[in-house]
Structure 1
Amino acid sequence: TNTPTEVVYNKSDLNLDRHVNTFDLFILALDWHRVAEKEIGNFLLKIETEEDLESITVEGSGRFDVVREGKYWAPATDDPDLLPNMFQNVNLYPFHPEFFTSVFPERFAGQDTLALILRDSPRDYFAGAIFEFRTVDGGTVYGFDSVADYLDTSELLTQEEVAQLYDILSQNFQLRPFAYAPVHPLAVEVASNWEDASFPVYLPGATIEKTYEALTVGTNYGRVRLLTVPELAEANANGTISWQDILVLDVTPFDIEGVQAAVITGSPQGELSHVALRTARRGTPNAFIANPHEVFAPYENQLIRLTLDENEYSIDPNVTLQQAQAWWDENRPSVPNPLPPNLEYTEFDNVLDMNISDSSDLVGKFGGKVAGLARMYSFLPAENQIPAFGIPFHYYHEFMTANTLTIREGEDFVTVTFQEYLESLLEDPVFQGDPEYRASRLEGFRNIIENRSVVDPNLVTALISRIEQVYGSTSTMVRFRSSSNSEDALIFNGAGLYDSTSVCPEDTLDGDELGPSHCFSGQDDE
């Protein structure tokens, strides 16, 4: 068993003749004249010297023993269409996805590149970090780790997969000693139990442990949320993470989405971790603090003022919502007010017939997504255009003012329209300042809209008629997508704010809810 701080070598590891020439990689892969053009600057196919390593890495962070760190990508199968092992220049492309969509757009543009590496179903590529370590006795060890979906322990690399990866990397990373060096706590735990590994393993033992490291210094107000990484994933999926939340996490997640007030993790992050990169770009205060759940437990769900300095942090719980709101108003980025909606226009215009010369008018009638589609259709080849029409804001406003609900005001119950209720929420300071309260109220409002509202039957009839005109049939499945006056703009894209849904008009016309669908016979229900 490879013990902490011990690096064990097998004979093959010491064979310096084991390598693959750059020329060989061109022969094995397809279209590698493109690689030859891009090799200088963006990545290296081999690391043979300290100068090579320094040219594509950055100074280490996160642990005292990390001197330098970078990133790699390697094929997980012998498919000749896959890219070969590459060491990306993190000075230019710190994110794996950015590297591949920028350097190889013909392969990866529009793809979820993280899906290619995180899950073994099957995994197309291995990806992770490369390191230069300084050991406790002053020696040097070079190593690598591999990213995976740490929410599912079955997705962690097995001993056999690491052996496969080591064999690939060790041919092209020629500095020695070179070892598997996991940094995520789960991966470290798994590797520490391996016996008779065919490759070297480096697990730091007696290194000096940090208790605090600020990755992005700064100050912000927010409510403390103590979460495990699985709880974070669930909250993110449910849309309950807010820009007013200070996320205190037990360990560092592989990635983090959305915007937060601040992020605290209980394990070191490293400058090139996705969490560190994203928070740095946003200016979100972010730090590693040892035992963070214990440190922040007294402030759970409380509004605090958190300051992260280079060498220390401070927590001030004696703050008011008014102070926090004043801080947010002064420091939070703002976007211009959206164009006012045109609530009078009622026509279901065909996208091809829309006047794209007046963008404000188009966005005011139909929203940014419809306007953007109309502009795109002005130059997109006809064979790539899908028939489409827009539904103007008039009908949304009609729906919001025609439907009502009963709410409590003091000791009384009053009936208000959906629009009036929404406006009352926006004027409520607790709704504005408490993310958990806001999420609860919005969830309740969505449930009312979905289960207790009525869509004007005349609108349904008109839509079905328009669908038949545009698509030639009421048995064609049609995709309904959102288009608001505050999305699909350069300063704010609004991606992921709304759900899309597919509709079969004939299923509505048949007067029942029994399947199969008239638009898709393979679907048992309507």
Structure 2
Amino acid sequence: MIVFKPAKFWIFAFFALLLSVNVKAQYSYVGRTSELSSGYPVADVNITHKRLGTTIVSDQNGAFSWDFDSPEKTQNYRIIYNLFFAPYNANVSLRLFTSDGKILIETPEIGAGETYPLPKLKPGVYILQVLSDAKVDALKLFSSGELLTILQNRETQKSAFSNDTLVFSKNGYYSVEIPFPKKDTIAHVKLLSKTDNDLNYLNGLPNYQAFDLLQSSPFVTNQGEVESLKFIYNQHDNRVYYMNSKRFEFHFPFAEQFLGYNKGHYHFNITQYTNSGERFLYPGSINYYKALDKYVLRFYAGDEMDCSQIRHIFDRISSTSYLQGKLYLYPNNPEWESCSEVPVITSDELYEGQNYQALNLASGYGYLRKVDFEQLNSNYLGKHDIIVLNGIPNDVSVVAGIITTEFQTPLSHINILSHNRGTPNMALRNAWSHPKLEELLGELVYLEVQADSFIIRKATLNEASAFWSQNEPQTVVSLSKNTNTSGLIDLEKAAYSSVNTIGGKAANFAELLKLQNPSITTPENPFAIPFHYYHRHMENNQIDLFMNDLFENEIFKTNQEYRKQKLEELRTKIIEAPLDPVLTELIRTKIKNFKDFDAWRFRSSTNAEDLEFFSGAGLYDSFSAKKDDENKTIENAIKKVWASCWNFRAFEEREYYKIEQNSVAMGILVHRSFPNENANGVVITKNLYNINPGFIVNVQFDEYSIVFPEPGILHDQLILYTYSLDPSHKFTIEYLSHSNIPGYSGQNVLTEKELYQLGEYCLQIKNHFFNNVPHSCSCLFDDFGLDIEFKIDSPNGKRKLYIKQVRLYH
């Protein structure tokens, strides 16, 4: 019979007695199995030793204990995650005291080898008596508020082997395979249910299955084959909340529902992304790049976190997930590029690691064909062909879809044309040998380009025909043209309504000149050559008769190669015919015989260009005239621009849109040239990648082209959000990629000040065109799109921003 002494005696006895450590086993694995989402114990989990092939089962509390290299069980007292493990060779009972002797619990006998769950206790030191027939042991415990631990340490012996591997499995749960070091190890194994449809968040990611359960499409959708998971780090409890991103599109509703945030969305935005004294939440996302097998940490670009805060969150994610060694920071805010204490990944590395790029998210039907890039011009391409190209062309006639093996610039002419046609466009690096594409070559297929992947399958002629008849232009369009107005046109007196006299590009340019607050900087000394002079050139040299005969010729209509040859002949006739000397003299007088600038740009401006229903991007050509250059004369520049009206691809594009070819006329926009520009770029004045209001900016150093990019060349691509949490700024800058032009490593193409100025210009232009220029967009202001081209030049040694073109973007 056991006689209990007063509490003070047992407090004294604790310091007199030592914990029995009769260690005969070399090492032991002990721990608990619980459900990842709820934390509840999972009983009857099979725990299998892969090398030995033996299995044990966790008990009703999810507890397990496994000793190795021992002929008999040892009498060791263990407390693992608040579970007391009784010795294997004795029945015991427990009494738990506070440090001042107050008794908290007294248990009945616990069977040999059984477990007993101890309560959660307030932080502090406690004493546990373990009573058996043989003796009484006293253990000193420490409570963190969540967990109980024994303060004495027991020494363990090192094993000659490096690791064991245990597999934890149970029906209805994903299996977990864990390597254990061959020494005494405590493990809390969390199992993920396969049927947890009500899961809102997890506080840990034990494996990819957990990530996959929570992931959705990335918020910024400019890259393919990416899975994204949103999270919030809560500073108050030092936990990471991995959100069910399929259920919660934004961070605020989650914070409101599960983290007790009750001050509204606006307050959340101005306090939980800034250095506010009220901040305790840190929202972010983790993007998984499947082709790279790397996970990328991203934050809102306007977040005011510093590198030490990012490092702390990075460490918390690494310690609560399987991502250690695979997690990187993407510094979409330039200030984070100096965060040297965390591994950083560059846009170059992400770009190189991608296999798939979604350019124009659309679907369509066509016959799948492989076309060698080098032989593109000699191949017939039908409007119902979906082509696979082993390169990026500058010119492609109307086709039903495009797949390239090289990545494209999102705002390149080839993608703008795909966007305007509504046809799918994507890049797939292994497309030339992709098994699925190989299998479907020559077949009528359905292709759908999605943000993260693509669908391609066989199609029937009935479904394809129904799609073509519904989606392709069916109505013949006759364009208006005024060929009577002569003389050079002062664009300050013109407007968008002048499109039937000077063409879409010049008419839109005239609208830019109306903007005064702030005054939009445009290329100096602009004017326009109206359709009148093109029309007279065609009539006076009887080129119009040759052209009309072509359009009536059945061979011309049905034979693509013949059509190419005859259009080339037509262009030659336009260039070789003499130009009206009166027009030449008018222009020489206007530009003061090259006195102000040594070079002038003559830019195409047709009535089949920069229109609401027809962009014409990249269809026509522009040329320069230079002082004292016998090849780049005013006459040659004008005639070459006129001739480009009949480029093969321009003709085919107009045919697709059912534009009457005889109704087309070419005017010319003229302004000084930019022979030594510092940068050039394109802006789309609506956010193509997520729902937040903003502009997409693509910009490149010098004269490297954005719209006709060279393979492998990256540019600065960014979202210029039209809001900011910093009251001193109107915009927030988020970089999506950086230029990889040799010699400019580590530099941004535009300064922050230039980006803010560009944003101001674009806001004013967008407001003017939205409210004052006719359009059919039944949309809100944020969703109204313009395609704006700009340059940075240094006419007097000082960098200056110029807006050179604007057109509607749908």
**TM-score, normalised relative to structure 1:** 0.45
Which one scores higher on RCO, CA 8 angstroms, separation ≥ 6?
1
Greater strand share, 1 or 2? 2
Greater helix share, 1 or 2? 1
